Amino acid sequence: MQRYIVIPHTEVNLSSWDPNEKSNFESGKDAGKLHLLDLNNQLMTLQETLYAEHKHKILIVLQGMDTSGKDGTIKHVFKGVNPQGVRIANFKVPSKKELDHDYLWRVHNQVPGKGEIVIFNRSHYEDVLVVRVHKLAPVKIWSKRYSQINFFEKMLSEEGTKILKFFLHIDLDEQKARLQARLDDSNKQWKFRKGDLDDRKLWPEYINAYEDMLNKTSTNHAPWYIVPANRKWYRNIVIGSILVSTLNKLRMKYPDPEEDLKGIIIE
Ligand code: AMP
Ligand code: MG
């Protein structure tokens, strides 16, 4: 899955990243779904060890256009994982109180503690995406944020946080189909926001902003992965595999018991 990593300081041109790509799993959708079950099981065990060991902190950042599958990723990749020890932080339009503070204030408050996995559903990156595209802050403010974010993430990493960032890459046609599905299905209509259509019109501006984000904020300690996300099953496999291999590399183990348990008899 290393092919999806954004090598620091390289130029990303999203038009040359195919959102339909599926070269790491050619056996098709049905086999892909079975493979995901296997990844789910591995993730369950790894998360349990992470929680028990109480040493590492895992931060997963999900970003992508509307309908790119951030919610679906959480639902499917983390299926079966013990909710104790996993937390989702959703970043919506900031409240008045949040806007009264710097943009990292609400974010820092949600980062993982020891033994915890935290998934950011949107993140501080909105402050160089929607804020830039909708001109919610002047250029001289948001343009400084890339290096501020790099420093922030470096600090988190040096303090023991493992950071993985996923950009869910879909194209305009796929977004159209997913928005249409939300309109047509009464069980999905609650997800439809007219405002999403305004953002859809700004697609090229968002692509620009995403490219800058990927170019400036993929680092060795907090890399971005560009996930081909037109196919939901493939997206899940890519993210699940990267998580499993990253957690495996931490060589975690259950902690030793507090004292020698040999010879203890429970009456
Ligand atoms: P959703 O993720 O679909 O529930 O929508 C959340 C909305 O909040 C999106 O339209 C985001 O662009 C918006 N949002 C998130 N963070 C910010 C931010 N820092 N400033 C302005 N809008 C934001
Ligand atoms: Mg939305």
* Pocket around ligand 1 at a 6 A CB cut-off: 91-94, 122, 126-127, 130-131, 136
Q: Whose CA is nearest to atom 23 of ligand 1?
A: 93
Which ligand has its closest atom nearest to the C-alpha of 126? 1
What tokens appear for 226 in the block?
A: 């560009």
> Are 223 and 166 spatial neighbours (Cβ–Cβ below 8 Å)?
no
What tokens appear for 250 in the block?
A: 């931490």
Q: Whose CA is nearest to atom 17 of ligand 1?
A: 93
User: What is the C-alpha separation between 164 and 246, in angstroms, rounded?
Assistant: 9
pLDDT for position 157 = 98
Q: Which helix (H) or strand (E) holds 64?
A: strand 57-64
pLDDT for position 82 = 93
Q: Whose CA is nearest to atom 21 of ligand 1?
A: 93
> Are 25 and 35 spatial neighbours (Cβ–Cβ below 8 Å)?
yes
> Are 112 and 87 spatial neighbours (Cβ–Cβ below 8 Å)?
yes
What backbone phi and psi angles, to 5 degrees, belong to 238? -60, -50
Q: What is the pLDDT along the chain (267 residues), one digit of tens a residue?
A: 899 999 998 999 999 999 999 999 999 999 999 999 999 999 999 999 999 999 999 999 999 999 999 999 999 999 989 999 999 999 999 999 999 999 999 999 999 999 999 999 999 999 999 999 999 999 999 999 999 999 999 999 999 999 999 999 999 999 999 999 999 999 999 999 999 999 999 999 999 999 999 999 999 999 999 999 999 999 999 999 999 999 999 999 999 998 889 889 999
Name the packing angle between helices 29-53 and 70-77 (round to 10°).
70
Q: Which atom of ligand 1 is nearest to the CA of 129?
A: 12
**Quick one: 237 exposed, middle or buried, by C-beta within 10 A (0-12, 13-18, 19+)?**
buried
d(CA 248, ligand 1 centre) in Å: 33
Q: Which helix (H) or strand (E) holds 238?
A: helix 232-249
pLDDT for position 259 = 87
Residue 220, classed as helix, strand or coil, is: coil
Q: Ligand 1, from 126, 175, 198, 206: best to mutate by most atoms within 8 Å of Cβ? A: 126
The Cα-based distances of 94 to 122, 188, 267 in angstroms read 12, 25, 57
Q: Whose CA is nearest to atom 22 of ligand 1?
A: 93
Q: Which atom of ligand 1 is nearest to the CA of 195?
A: 10
d(CA 133, ligand 1 centre) in Å: 12
Which ligand has its closest atom nearest to the C-alpha of 182? 2
Which ligand has its closest atom nearest to the C-alpha of 102? 1
Which ligand has its closest atom nearest to the C-alpha of 92? 1
Residue 70, classed as helix, strand or coil, is: helix
Determine if the pTM surpasses 0.75: yes
Sole residue written with tokens 């999900």: 62
60 DSSP 8-state letter = E
